[in-house]
Amino acid sequence: MKFKTLVIFTALSVLFSCSDDKTKSESKTEKDATTGTKEETNPETYTIPDSATMMKNWQAYMTPGKEHEVMAKSSGTWNSEVTWWDYPGGPANKSTSTATNKMIMGGRYQVSTHTGNMMGMPFEGHATLAYDNHRKVYISTWIDNMGTGMMITEGKWDESAGGIVLNGKMVDPSIGKEVSVREVFKIIDDNTHVMEMYKAGHDGKEFKCMEIKYTRKK
């Protein structure tokens, strides 16, 4: 067990050593990420809503919409080609894995199970993707068998980026501190998706540290 753990963490170090401590680009993405959120509750701004309005609001919040329909199109099994870079200009590392997506709870949430092999060790990851109708944001959570924390990101569809842009935080295990991350999910076509992940490099500038190309399994 000890060696197994060691290999897992070694692999993880290579995978995630691209991240940095608090940097300029982090505070930039942080600002972007928190736009319109974390607003303090101010009792004075409250108006007493009638129960019909409350019911209508809740219905709108809980009913899956077109974003969920688009999400459901990704259901199925995908081959993942993972490429990651430890630092800007560093060599590209590669591995492959399999991702299985399905919608749960009446088409409201997408859960993804990732299984692969990272430097000879089994790798498992679990993701949840939501589209919050009330706040009109995508929310993504990620856990895997190498860590104890959770990566939680949120964001919107960005036409200029050609996909969903999600900002958030994760612990960089190599330094044991939280760092900012940015993910871009692109739908190339019905059978091809690309995920790009960016982090702050050691010079404070954001760089691409991971890319996953998903191809639908026939």
Partner 1 sequence: MKPKLLTALISIGLFVSCSNEKTAKDTDKEKTKPEKEEAWIPVDSATMMKAMMDYGTPGPMHQMLASWNGTWTVEMTHWGYEGATPQTASGTAVNSMLFDGRYQQSTHTSDMMGMKFEGRSIMGYDNATKQFVSTWFDNWSTGIMTMTGTWDEATKTMTLSGTMPDIVRPGKECHLKEKFTIVDDNTQHMEMWGPDPKTGKEYKMMEIKMSRKK
- Interface with partner 1 in residues 57-86 (CB under 8 A): 57-58, 61-65, 68, 86
Q: Are 216 and 192 in contact (CB under 8 A)?
A: yes
Question: In 3D, which of 85, 86, 171, 81 has the Cα closest to residue 117?
Answer: 81
| Minimum CB–partner distance for residue 66 and partner 1 (Å) | 12
Site string for partner 1, 180-209 (x = CB under 8 A): ----------------------xxx-----
Residue 158 binds partner 1, judged by CB under 8 A: no
Q: What is the CA radius of gyration of the chain?
A: 19
Element (H, E) at 59: helix 51-62
Cα dihedral 126→131→134→136 (10° resolution): 120
Question: In 3D, which of 15, 38, 12, 19 has the Cα closest to residue 154?
Answer: 38
Residue 116 binds partner 1, judged by CB under 8 A: no
> CB-based burial of residue 78 (10 Å sphere; 0-12 exposed, 13-18 middle, 19+ buried)?
buried
Instruction: Record the tokens describing residue 81, joined without a space.
Output: 């080609």
Residue 173 binds partner 1, judged by CB under 8 A: yes
| Minimum CB–partner distance for residue 197 and partner 1 (Å) | 18
Q: Which is nearer to partner 1, 21 or 158 (CB)?
A: 21
Q: Which one among 17, 29, 80, 167 touches partner 1, defined by CB under 8 A?
A: 17
Q: Which is nearer to partner 1, 116 or 147 (CB)?
A: 147
Residue 109 binds partner 1, judged by CB under 8 A: yes
Q: Which one among 30, 81, 152, 194 touches partner 1, defined by CB under 8 A?
A: 152
Q: Which one among 78, 84, 131, 198 touches partner 1, defined by CB under 8 A?
A: 131
* 3-class state of residue 96 by DSSP: strand
Residue 162 binds partner 1, judged by CB under 8 A: no
Q: Which one among 157, 161, 174, 194 touches partner 1, defined by CB under 8 A?
A: 174
Element (H, E) at 63: none
Residue 146 binds partner 1, judged by CB under 8 A: yes
